[in-house]
Amino acid sequence: MDTVTLTTEQAYEAAYRFVAQYFGREPGSVSLLLMLSSMEPTSDEARTSDPASWPDWQKCVAATLAGEPLPAIGS
C-alpha cells in the first residue's frame, strides 16, 4: 500500500472503524461497545459522543508523532 497522509479527523474515523470491525467479531464485548459508543464521531464541536474523547485522541496523536513508546497493555 502506498503511504497516505490522513488528517487527525480522518485518522480518528479510521480508528473508530477499526474498533467497530473488531467489535463485529466480538459482539458480546461490553467494554468494546461502551468504547464505540463514546468514540462515535459527530459533526459538532466535541467531535465525538464523549467530549473528553477528542482531547484524549489529540494526546495520542501527539505521542505518536513524538515517537513515544507504545503503552504496555496491562501495566
pLDDT, tens digit (0-9, with 9 covering 90-100), for 23-61: 999 889 999 999 999 999 998 888 989 988 899 999 999
Residue 1 has pLDDT above 90, yes or no: no
Cα 44 to chain centroid distance, Å, stands at 17
> Is residue 53 assigned to a domain?
no
Which residue is listed with cell 507504545? 70
- CB atoms inside a 10 Å sphere around CB 39: 20
Beta strands in the chain (DSSP E): none
> Is residue 55 assigned to a domain?
no
Residue 75 has pLDDT above 80, yes or no: no
> Is residue 60 assigned to a domain?
no
3-state secondary structure of 46: coil
Per the structure, the count of domains in the chain is 1
Provide the pLDDT for residue 41: 92
CA contacts within 13 A on the Cβ side of 12:
22
Provide the pLDDT for residue 65: 93
Q: Running DSSP on this structure, what letter comes out for residue 28? A: T
> Is residue 18 assigned to a domain?
yes
pTM reported for the whole predicted model: 0.82
> Is residue 16 assigned to a domain?
yes
What mean pLDDT is predicted for residues 61-73? 93
Could you list the residue range(s) of the whole structural domain that residue 35 is in?
Answer: 7-45
Which residue is listed with cell 495520542? 60
